[in-house]
Structure 1
Amino acid sequence: MSKELNILAFAGSTRRASFNKAMLAAAVAGAEDAGAEVTCIDLRNYPLPLYNGDLEAAEGLSDNVLKLKNLFDGHDGLLIASPEYNSAYSALLKNVFDWVSRPAAADEPMLNSFAGKQAVIMSTSPGAMGGLRGLYALRELLMNMMVQVDPAMMALGNAMEEFDETGGMINGEKELAVRDLGARLVRNLGGN
């Protein structure tokens, strides 16, 4: 690779035993194997109030918002695993995106932390569809924020049968497919 590729990876869940965090780990391994530097964060470590314009006007952007903005700004691509809640992505993801989209300075361009980034999205759930409906909604949101979302999103159903007690994937073929999502993002960013 001619330049170092940096990917920010996170799941839209705060549960410790989240199936989406386990799925994300396999995609992260694929991106690292393809040569990218991956920063994997847990959004539970960046607590935020629900977005409120009055709160923003009164207090500005919190330290956690600024930390997240710096992370988004410092990475070329996004690996996102999103649980599905009532046919949509999680409220956690929406709230993070709402805060991170806010400018930190008057001269910051709109959607500066998102525009032009590449993303790969995935989901897993105990249901048969694996969170597929939520991924379509997430894709639309990200594209509206000027993120280029790879069409090869993946929804893995029956999650309780796909992961072992340590969070490892049981089916080797499916694990390779998830790892390829990470490698695919690296290729989209101009890597191997």
Structure 2
Amino acid sequence: MASSTQKVLVFAGSAREASLNKQLAKLGAKRIEALGGEATFIDLKDYPCPLFDEDIETQGMPENVVKLREILAEHQGVLIASPEYNGFITPLLKNTLDWLSRPYQETPGLGLFAGKWAALVGASPGGLGGIRALPLGQQLLANLGLIVLPQPLSLPKAGSAFNDSGALNDAATGQKLDALCQRLVDVMANNHP
């Protein structure tokens, strides 16, 4: 079992209330907990940040960016559910990660991400399940210095993928999510890929 210090921050790159990716992220957080990890789900809608602009940054780090930085600093891993917009990750996800990658006080640029683990999942009501955006998300996270687990989970036809309790209808997909969450919990506990 992972030690209590191995915490995973879980969020979706969508602010929409009925987001399928939020639903998948929440399920991922539950599965991490069930598999021996410690997960914290946050909703980026609760932390609105301006579009990244160095002119804004020179006036002082926005309050919600500071809050997100403090939350991320307390976690050793992330599980991100990434929607796909026109084949790419969402502007919300990119903007959030851009703000978090900036130097602030004693933390150098990218310092918040160094040595942390990351896993990606994606859901879409369409047949591709966000699969075009997931490699781009993995590339971005790797560029930021995170250690990214291979084989992200793609969830196509997500509009009908969840039952009333929030679990996945398809047992095989549920097993894939569990396997990814278990790998994340295990690598964090063992501190090696």
TM-score range, shorter chain: over 0.9
Q: Is the 8 A contact 2:2 2:188 kept in 1?
A: no
The whole-number CA distance in structure 2 between the counterparts of 1:26 and 1:179 is: 10
* Offset of residue 123 of structure 1: 0.2
Q: Which residue identity does 2:7 align to in structure 1? A: N
The alignment yields a C-alpha RMSD, in angstroms, of: 1.5
* Offset of residue 40 of structure 1: 0.5
Judge which range, 7-16 or 164-173, deviates more: 164-173
SS in 1 for 2:49: coil
Q: Which residue identity does 1:89 align to in structure 2? A: I
Q: Which residue identity does 2:20 align to in structure 1? A: F
SS in 1 for 2:40: strand
Q: Is the 8 A contact 1:123 1:156 kept in 2?
A: yes
SS in 1 for 2:136: helix
The whole-number CA distance in structure 2 between the counterparts of 1:186 and 1:16 is: 28
**Percent identical residues:** 40
The whole-number CA distance in structure 1 between the counterparts of 2:127 and 2:18 is: 19
* Offset of residue 165 of structure 1: 5.5
Where does residue 175 of structure 1 map in the other structure?
Answer: 174
SS in 1 for 2:118: strand
Task: Report the TM-score, using the length of structure 1 for normalisation.
Answer: 0.92
The whole-number CA distance in structure 2 between the counterparts of 1:88 and 1:74 is: 28
Where does residue 35 of structure 2 map in the other structure?
Answer: 34
Where does residue 20 of structure 1 map in the other structure?
Answer: 21
Q: Is the 8 A contact 2:2 2:186 kept in 1?
A: no
* Offset of residue 33 of structure 1: 1.4
What is the number of residues matched between the two proteins? 189
Q: Which runs of 5+ in 2 are unaligned?
A: none
1:161 aligns with 2:160: yes
Task: Report the TM-score, using the length of structure 2 for normalisation.
Answer: 0.92
Where does residue 126 of structure 1 map in the other structure?
Answer: 125
Instruction: Check 1:90–1:74 CA distance in 2 against 1; reply closer, same or farther (3 A cut).
Output: same
Where does residue 78 of structure 2 map in the other structure?
Answer: 78
Where does residue 64 of structure 2 map in the other structure?
Answer: 64
Judge which range, 152-161 or 44-53, deviates more: 152-161
Where does residue 91 of structure 1 map in the other structure?
Answer: 91
